[in-house]
Amino acid sequence: MGNISFFRKLGFKIALPFILVGLLPLFIGIVFLFKYTEGLIRDDACNNLGLLAKNTEEEVCRFMTSCVTDIKILAESAVMRNTDMHVDKKLLEMKKIQDYYKRFEDITMIDTKGRVITSTTYNYRGEWRSKKWFLEAIKGNVYVSDAHVILDPYKVVLVIAVPLIGENGKIHAVLVGQLNMERLWEIVDSIAIGNTGFVTIMNEQQYYVAHPNKGMLFRQAPFDPEKKSGVIDSSDSDSEMLFYSTEKYTSTVEYESPKWRIVVAQEKRDALSNLSKLKNNVIYILIISFFLVIVISIFVSKGIVKPVQTLIQGMSRVSDGDLSYKTSVKSRDEIGLLGVAFNDMLMRLNKAHQELQIKTEELHEAFNKISLLNVTLEKRVEERTKELREKQHQLVQAGKLAAIGQLGAGVAHELNNPITGILGYTQFMLDIVSKENLKIEEVYTFKKYLHHIENGSRRCKEIIQNLLQFARKSPEDFVSVNVNNVVKDALSLIECQLLVNKIEVIKNLAPDIKQVDGNHVQLQQVFTDIIINAQQAMPEGGQLFISTRNENGNVAIEFKDTGCGIPEKYKDRIFEPFFTTKTDWKGTGLGLSICYDIIKNHSGNIVVDSQLGKGSVFTIILPVKNNKNVLKDDYKK
């Protein structure tokens, strides 16, 4: 810092007036006086608050025990224990308890799977199975939860969960009562403590669950739960300090209860009201002392404020961009040295600013080069992505053509039957036409044969159209699709081949199946490949069960065969590209891999369950139309 004599240091200039008037000894004496007196009164105040906290805890305990008893009595009643009793009679008993005690916002009966059987008002719309009070109740325990908020209607409640034990001694349901916290608040708010005292309840996470100011509910409480009593700075009061005492809430009955702390607090000025007279007497002394400090500070500030103002003006000009400014502070104390350091800082800052401008220009040029490179790179990525998408379409089409090759024999046999009939009827009609005289009966026979020929031709046309539609390149658009129709179209191509191979197809298609967003041709390819795999798994014949159903916001299509099954070691690999267990070159290993990609593109999933020697089950899960986010975790593997 430089050599400054002791008498010229800024600290000495400020401290000397206070020492001269004796301000420091005066304040030390006052502090010791107040600390000694305040300690005695504080101990007495804390004892009184602790006694009140204990009494409040007992009152809360009696109220909570009474509420738990109400629910337990209801659960142990003959009507609720009788599993054969109609649910409306049980609801009537629940409403009697709710209407009589006026404590519960809602009473709900839930089965052991978490489904609501009945409810008086059903104010809770959440998932019961994940709640601890439900899990504890189905174990046979009585559980009381912490306070929480329900939104419709907006209420603060706590849950009392009691197991419903039937006459056979087994738990068949859970009775849940949502206790309105306003009943408990009335107990707490009715306790008066001086002019500023209040009673509150905080939970294990130190959040308010009861407070006379309802705007403070579920805010962080400043009280230390590990201390029986103490003093804190108040963040929600006009006073500076709060005295408080706590009491841990414990139930007199054996059940899981919330870990609450009853807190009784009072503002320090209210708790230490006996010091007010002493404070009034000391205030006069403090006024005189502060008056002397102000008078002396006026003279001292003249030597301090002026150079400080000069520095402030310099900083203002620097903030406006004038880095060439220099201060003119010439005092011989620390402020003078501060002015010298300030001028040196400006010189260095100006130099650094010039260097920064040069670096900024260099970075700007480099950024322009990188931007040009990014544009080129994005074009290349776009081209490669387009090529990759085209290759994927070609792979799907190749898998489809492979399936058509496997369908060839069946389609040929399917076409052979109507063509043979058409040929026979045609030859017979030619024989009749070759006669000289035609009878009227033969004309009617012609008409009947022509109908047969027309029906056979239509059948051939339908088979060929289905095959052409299946072989055609799939469009990219997704539309509303009925999976039952897709199953029927897939079977129309391969049903004859299944009959030839002695495979019985048993269909159970839900008539009320919901629509899905999908590609009809792509889904037909998936179903056809799975049916062909099922046929190849039953070389000696068997049964193929095909069913559809609505399930948990999804549509499930199940293919179950009675074939040879899949070995355990191959289950995790069947969807890998080019993986096949066929050693006779009949398989490419692409079929199931393409099926997997198509179903994933439909936001769905394929679940496989197989036992060696007993058959396989392929279940395809597709989300309902416009609801692709509902695919349940049970199907995700």
The residue ranking higher by pLDDT, 169 or 21, is 169
Q: Which of 50-59, 389-398, 463-472, 568-577 has the highest mean predicted lDDT (pLDDT)?
A: 50-59
Separation CA 391–CA 308 (nearest Å): 76
Least confident of 221-235, 408-422, 474-488: 408-422
Q: Between residues 149 and 549, which one has the greater pLDDT?
A: 549
- How far is 489 from 463, CA to CA, in rounded Å? 10
Cβ-contact 208, 218 below 8 angstroms: yes
Burial class (CB in 10 A: 0-12, 13-18, 19+), 80: buried
* 567 within 8 A of 619, measured Cβ to Cβ: no
More confident residue, 237 or 606: 606
Helix or strand (DSSP H, E) at 620:
strand 615-623
Q: Looking at residues 255-264, what average pLDDT do you find?
A: 83
**pLDDT (tens digit per residue) in 159-171:** 999 999 988 889 9
CB 264 within 8 A of CB 49: yes
From the list 42, 174, 77, 53, the residue with the least C-alpha distance to 116 is 174
Take residue 566 and report the two structure tokens written for it.
């899949």
Q: Residue 635 — very low, low, confident or very high, per pLDDT cuts 50/70/90?
A: very low
Band (pLDDT 50/70/90 cuts) for residue 226 is confident
Which domains, ranges and CATH numbers included, belong to the chain?
22-63+185-271 (3.30.450.20), 71-181 (3.30.450.20), 474-635 (3.30.565.10)
Tokens of 312: 């402030």
Range from 303-307, 358-362, 409-413, 433-437 carrying the lowest mean pLDDT: 409-413
Give the model confidence (pLDDT) of 550-589 as tens digits: 998 899 999 999 988 888 777 777 777 655 665 444 444 4
Judged against a pLDDT cut of 80, whether residue 34 lies above it is answered with: no
Both tokens of 443, joined, read 């004309």
Query: H-helix or E-strand containing 22?
Result: none
**What percentage of the chain's residues is helix, strand, coil (to nearest 5)?**
55, 20, 25
User: Which of residues 276 and 288 earns the better pLDDT score?
Assistant: 288
Does residue 592 register a pLDDT over 80? Answer: no
3-class DSSP string for 518-538: ECHHHHHHHHHHHHHHHHHCC
Q: Per mean pLDDT, which range of 30-34, 350-354, 564-568 is the poorest?
A: 30-34
- Per-residue pLDDT tens over the stretch 473-483: 555 678 899 99
Half-sphere exposure for 312 (CA within 13 Å, toward CB)? 6
Residue with tokens 């081209």: 383
Contact between residue 186 and residue 122 where contact means Cβ atoms under 8 Å apart: no
